[in-house]
Structure 1
């Protein structure tokens, strides 16, 4: 027996990175085994060559798919966290390897936020905008005043670290038709917010949190914390833990991130021209985190729980293919092969009728795997 044979019990081909892939675990000779003759080695080499060819083909397909996803969602998907498709992780008993369907997390989940995230907040100011806007100073929630004053703050938080011009604020607050007194009212709102955010600031001392920049205002990103950033950190940590094969840690991270949501992001100004794109971005990241949490439940062997949560998720978001993929996999793992196939075919029919498109390669691959009860599905 060679040293190479003694060093490892298994030989694992590279996972196919794409919308759908599998990790193939091939048997290798163990110490004391009689297997390992030349024909067997040749057979294994042939199998690896076939897999490498399939890997190259699917990587080319994946590059094309990622380009279309990035164009459609405005995301950067150049550095996957974690790997995509069916990968092997540990679940249930420590000795059983199971395949869990995963996708690449969006760039914004990976922490590629629009502004630098503060490492500390000398002022102790925290904003919560994953729901109605709230603010706290030194851990105590503060009164943000009248609706328009709250809207001013929400608009500034949505662009934290970036100046927001007076003209934009006037247009958004008064729907494009500000009255003659609007500029005076805006100045009063800003002054009130400054007093609330820096209650101990001495008279005539420059504001450190809500600053003036020419004919614009901005919230200094070095002086504040925003729950949007904490959510992104937690979601990123969840995907990374799942990629490392640590589903318990992944579940804690996803749960902590999703617990920050209290309703629609930036609720007071969600429909305004300058905030609506950010609301859409955050909602997409929230759905990715939910799907990541469900993938984690499957990795932990909590198939029935995953089935119940994915049933509600896919009903609310029927065109999300990854949710459908996870739902079908969870059904199959729960011993419901017929329901898993019915789910895939119902989704295929909906996509054809509503969008006129075929299911993704990932779903087509999963259907074949379920039909043949492939061992890679666990």
Structure 2
């Protein structure tokens, strides 16, 4: 019988390497022999050249007769895998071909392949008409095959790469299982498992996404925001980058208390940023504090931090060079370094010091250069030269002690902040103050004309624009909006009633989603006074329209 039809032989690599014949575990021999088998199992039913086996098992320290050593271990594996085969009978499980050694693994004979097969089946079931419970059951069967770290005890680049790939497959399956569990509303009991998943795979943003969503649905909004902050700090410290767009969008939706996040009857991970809840979706209270971080600002900060690191390294190199110049030139160029610093800092005292160093070095070298006869003044010149060398180096070290000057003008050695960055921060602060006022005191916000740049006012709101009251010409000036969309906004709010949220501009088909997403920074929604009658058909989300009533406070939204 062909070995590929033998159902009793099976192998396991999702943990310590093991082989079974039926219920009997096989003794695979010494460590190097097991490593040879592992290389073959990473390429089941495919030829593996002898050189590839040697490179994988021995790495940079191969044996002198690598092919013969591999042949010896293959013979040992054949005795283990086919104990009843006579020496003259050709091997059937582990064969030698012109392309290399081939290990014939029967169908479902390798646990890693069975795991991947079951995961694919679960994903197919999820995409089809199967219910969530069936998907979870299939994923559970696949994940139950894992015992410990795959290929435990085997070292080398080949095994490390295979181990990393298998671990990533497991992490992806765990995330998929958690997504399905969230679809079923099991967010509270998932939190501990997701925390453990994040700790095990800190680089996977999908796990952090699911943890934030589970925390938020469990009524733990502050912890969800803290989880995002932890992710951002980790990525910034380790790699100098910001979280991905998907994670940032979830953070923004949590800050806005987006009601769609609480609707777990549909897969939450598929919801776009600008999605709106159905008529029966619960309404959440808007966040009191708007976000102070945007994707554009985060990217700009990351670039700025990279530039600052480069500048720091450059300043350290310049300082070392400046200190070394007086020593290696025996004091003849001490005056040049001090004069350069005097020019950078526009310091008259440093200029005088540079002149003094120049005079000292000239005296030293002009005196010593006269070698016609030995004079007592020559000893003084030697001391002057040493002072110019050592004293100049010490002087430069003191002058550059707090860092190499990075700009011209003034004695301060720290660069002045970028006026553009300062302006952006001040504007953001003013917008946050205005949004807080909109949230807690909408009547005062109306009196201060927040969101109405066309009206005279004494309160600076940072350039906010209210879509419920701003005139057409003000809306048309917003980037990407234009006069046509501005006119449509005014017409819709007059006919159908005021907007309850920024997302409603998308829901009513007034403005494309990509335009709204770019304007979240400046758009606000201030509901009209309670006693102000509205005309037209009821707005979506009102009791007259058959949905949930709009929130009493204005929605505070930022990207």
**With structure 1 as the length reference, what TM-score do the two structures score?**
0.62
Task: Choose 1 or 2 for highest CA Rg.
Answer: 2
- CA distance in 2 between partners of 1:142 and 1:212 (Å): 22
Is the 8 Å Cα contact of residues 136 and 180 (structure 2) preserved in structure 1? yes
Shift of 1:204: 2.1
Q: Secondary structure at the match of 2:157?
A: coil
1:255 aligns with 140
2:268 corresponds in structure 1 to none
**Alpha-carbon distance in 2 for matches of 1:273, 1:349:** 30
Taking structure 1 as reference, are residues 324 and 123 closer, same or farther at Cα in structure 2, changes over 3 Å only?
Answer: closer
3-state secondary structure, aligned to 1:330? helix
Change (3 A) 1:214 1:243: closer
Q: 2:247 maps to which residue?
A: 363
Higher strand share: 1
1:315 aligns with 2:187: no
Q: CA deviation at 1:327?
A: 0.4
Q: Aligned residue for 2:85?
A: 201
Conserved 8 A contact 1:208-1:223 = no
How does 1:190-229 map onto structure 2 within 5 Å? 190-214=74-98, 216-221=100-105, 225-229=109-113
Q: Matched residues in 2 for 1:219 and 1:241: separation?
A: 32
Counterpart contact for 2:7–2:109, Cα < 8 Å: no
Map 1:122-137 → 2, pairs under 5 A: 122=6, 124-137=8-21
Cα distance in 1 for residues equivalent to 2:198 and 2:46 = 37
Shift of 1:305: 1.8
CA RMSD of aligned residues (A): 2.4
Question: What secondary structure, in the 3-state scheme, does the structure 1 residue paired with 2:177 have?
Answer: helix
**Counterpart in the other structure of 1:186:** 70
Say whether the 8 Å CA contact 2:10–2:105 is kept in structure 1.
Answer: no
For residues 329 and 340 of structure 1, the distance between their equivalents in structure 2, rounded to whole angstroms, comes to 7
Alignment of 1:50-61 (within 5 A): none
Partner residue of 2:442?
Answer: none
Give the direction of change, closer, same or farther, for the CA distance of 1:372–1:139 in structure 2 (3 Å limit). same
Match of 1:148 among 7, 32, 42: 32
Corresponding position of 1:246: 131
Q: Which residue of 2 aligns with 1:114?
A: none
- 1:127–1:225: 8 Å Cα contact kept in structure 2? yes
Aligned length: 258
Change (3 A) 1:178 1:357: closer
Gaps of 5+ in 2: 264-559
Runs of 4+ in 1 over 4 A off after TM superposition: 178-185, 221-224
3-state SS of paired residue (2:219): coil
Pairing 1:330–2:185 present: no
* Superposition deviation, residue 127 in structure 1: 0.8
Instruction: Structure 1 unaligned segments of length 5 or more: list them.
Output: 1-119
Distance verdict in 2 for CA 1:369–1:172, change over 3 Å: closer
Structure (1/2) with the larger helix percentage: 2
Deviation at 1:307, TM superposition (A): 0.5
CA distance in 1, matches of 2:61, 2:249: 55
